[in-house]
Structure 1
Amino acid sequence: MHGQLIARDGFAQPKAAERVSIQYLRAVAALMVAGVHLQPQLERLDHGGAWPQWLIGGVDIFFVISGFIMWLTTRGRPQTPLVFYRRRFRRIVPLYWLMTAFIVSVLLLAPDLLYSARLDPWHVLASFAFIPYPNPATGLLEPLLIPGWTLNYEMFFYLLFGAALLIPDRGRVIAVSVLLCAIVSLQALNPSPDTLLSFYTSSIILEFLLGIWIGVWHLRERRRPTVHLSLTLLAGGFAAMGVLPTLWPELPRLIGLGLPAAVIVAAALRLEQAGGIPDWRGLRLLGDASYSLYLSHPLVLSAASRIWKQMGLPGIGAPAWTFVPAAMAACVAVAIALYLTVERPLATRRNLRRMPPPGRPAGAGDTGDEHSY
């Protein structure tokens, strides 16, 4: 792979931002999550029927990628927990807070425009603070910006992983593994549903650990991958993600969606190493904009279904299915616009502030950390 760095132990250590496969998977994962959230909009347009709920596995792909990137961007690059937390805050928080503030403003000015949000001061504060709190509109532990429930897990993982930076590389992966497994084992206490204990002890947090171990394996694997085997594993991962939760819905999420997500991420990385992934600028841009797409798509889909219904399109011969490509195109367009006008300028200003003086090399943390979600 081009642009590789050689770590002190002799293993190749490419920059995280140069992995086109990860960028593509971000785009695919965000589109999957947007796709699964089409169902309630179609129901509002009086279109019933089954819908591929396994598309929610895009969240699990994101979690595996997050663990992978956190390992890559910290391994062999000493940094304090405080520096790590500051970089994670700058990456995740500004856009999320802006989107949440937008929802609050809509609830204050025109609350009827939002289907699944109610104004509750404690819920608003919890949403900004990344604390799981019952959504007054749904009763679930969801923030105002509903996809933000995954960010509550992300922030919890960052809190634990950042503290583990005090441990040398060789012991860190073991310490994080033991800690996350111990936390999940607390499910044996049978916590009540929709409580903080049940939320944070979900097996879904082990998907971050899968990503970490993929990072360990990926940096040390020396055998040359083949395109055919990588493609087979990639296709098998997506097939398993579609089949396992459908045939065995009682399976823990870690098994039904997490393990297939790990296979997908590992296979995509190997496929890129084998030279089987072309560099498509448009898909790479969508990967860059995946965080904007992930956060903005619920609002775009809600607005799109309202406009669609007010225009009477389902009633004048246009079937509800035509809403799907139109709504997804709107989500992509808004996400790219949001990324280019808000998310990227914010990141650019952060990078300029962190730029070292002339003559001093960039620090270890300045190598692709901006693309970690």
Structure 2
Amino acid sequence: MHTLPESPALAVGWTLQYEFMFYSIIAMLMAFSARKMNTFIVCYAAIVLVAVLFLSSKFSSMSQYITMVQLIGSPMMIEFLLGMTLYRLNSDNIFLPKWVAVTFGLAAIPLLLLIETQDWFPNFAGQFYRPIVWGAIAFVIVWSALSLEGIIKTNKFFELLGDASFSLYLVHWLLLPWVAHFYDVLGLYDELGILGSVIVYFSIA
């Protein structure tokens, strides 16, 4: 998924590179007086499409000299488009009916498991399989959750985990290899077993 020639110093920071490019595009559009959400969505989609077409053309070898094109044309950038669309729906109070949101919310993960285990879409969309198939299901999950806000009471513990999730994600990359090292040195895999290891890792997290 990482398309740049070199990774950042902190490897998990590769996701921030895509975020930086996304916000740079938004800043550029604002500099050209874009203000309405629909304008941002359409222009952003057009910019990503141009980059994708460029990377698929006979001039794609030139992208090694313009690394930002590799980022903009990455399938990952489509997921930002899905996020912008969700924001548009949410800001305009366009929500799913409660029963639809609950049904979609409960069915989404089993549906994804069926799609993957049964290989329902073999060779579909190439490198864009993830943002189209996984992205569509993630879109439905988040839209369902937004549609149920205020209806289902917020759990403070899960809210705390959500707020801390990205910080934990950055720290885990540094911490967990050391935990695995001490597991090997001390032979803790045999001592604690799978359940004990799950408890240890969850406690550290």
Question: What band does the TM-score fall into relative to the shorter chain?
Answer: 0.7 to 0.9
**Alpha-carbon shift at residue 321 of structure 1 (Å):** 5.2
Measured in 1, the distance between the counterparts of 2:50 and 2:162 equals: 33
1:236 paired residue number:
107
Alignment of 1:267-278 (within 5 A): 267-273=144-150, 275-276=151-152, 278=153
Q: Which moved more, 1:307-316 or 1:279-288?
A: 307-316
Matching residue within 167, 172, 181 for 2:34:
167
How far off is 1:234 after superposition? 1.6
Contact 1:204-1:258 within 8 A present in 2 as well:
no
Equivalent residues in 2 for 1:37-76, closer than 5 Å? none
1:179-223: per-residue Cα shift (whole Å, max 9, x none)? 22222333322747x964544412220110111111112222456
Q: Distance in 2 between matches of 1:322 and 1:250?
A: 40
Give CA deviations for 1:309-366 in whole Å, capped at 9, x if unaligned: 22212234x32453233213312xxxxxxxxxxxxxxxxxxxxxxxxxxxxxxxxxxx
User: How much is the aligned-residue C-alpha RMSD, in angstroms?
Assistant: 2.8
Q: Deviations over 1:258-286 (max 9, x none)?
A: 1111111111101215x02x222221111
| Separation (CA, whole Å) in 1 of partners of 2:188 and 2:95 | 55
Aligned to 2:188: 313
Within the candidate set 76, 87, 95, 1:204 is matched to 76
**Matched residues in 1 for 2:95 and 2:70: separation?**
41
- Give the AA of the match of 2:34: I
Contact 1:132 1:143 in 2 (8 A): no
Q: Give % identity.
A: 26
Gaps of 5+ in 1: 1-58, 60-130, 135-141, 332-373
Aligned twin of 1:323:
197
Q: In 1, distance between residues paired with 2:77 and 2:55?
A: 12
Identify the range of structure 1 (249-258 vs 207-216) with the bigger mean alpha-carbon deviation: 249-258
Residue of structure 2 equivalent to 1:301: 176
CA shift, 1:149, in A, is 1.2
- Is residue 283 from structure 1 mapped to residue 181 from structure 2 by the alignment? no
Amino acid across the alignment from 1:304: V
The gaps in structure 2 that reach 5 residues or longer are: none
Which aligned pairs between 1:1-373 and structure 2 lie closer than 5 A?
132-134=4-6, 142-165=7-30, 166-169=33-36, 170-189=38-57, 191=60, 196=67, 197-221=69-93, 225-226=97-98, 228-246=99-117, 247=119, 248=121, 250-251=123-124, 252-273=129-150, 275-276=151-152, 278-316=153-191, 318-320=192-194, 322-331=196-205
**Residues 4 and 70 of structure 2 are in contact (CA less than 8 Å); yes or no, is this contact kept in structure 1?**
no
Higher relative contact order (CA 8 A, sep 6+): 1
Please state how far the C-alpha of 1:160 moved relative to its aligned partner: 0.2
* Whole-Å separation in 2 of the counterparts to 1:151 and 1:239: 30
Report which of the two has the higher share of helix. 2
Q: 1:256 to 1:224 in 2, by over 3 A?
A: closer
Structure 1 residue 177: Cα displacement: 2.3
1:276-298 Cα deviation digits (max 9, x unpaired): 2x222221111111121121111
Distance 1:296 1:163, change over 3 A: same
CA contact (8 A) 2:101 2:148 kept: yes
1:289 aligned counterpart, secondary structure: helix
TM-score by length of 2: 0.78
Q: Whole-Å Cα distance in 1 between the matches of residues 122 and 8 of structure 2?
A: 26
Q: Does the residue aligned with 2:149 lie in a helix, a strand or coil? A: helix
Q: Is the 8 A contact 1:231 1:267 kept in 2?
A: yes
Contact 2:25/2:44 (8 A) holds in 1:
yes
* TM-score normalized by the length of structure 1: 0.45
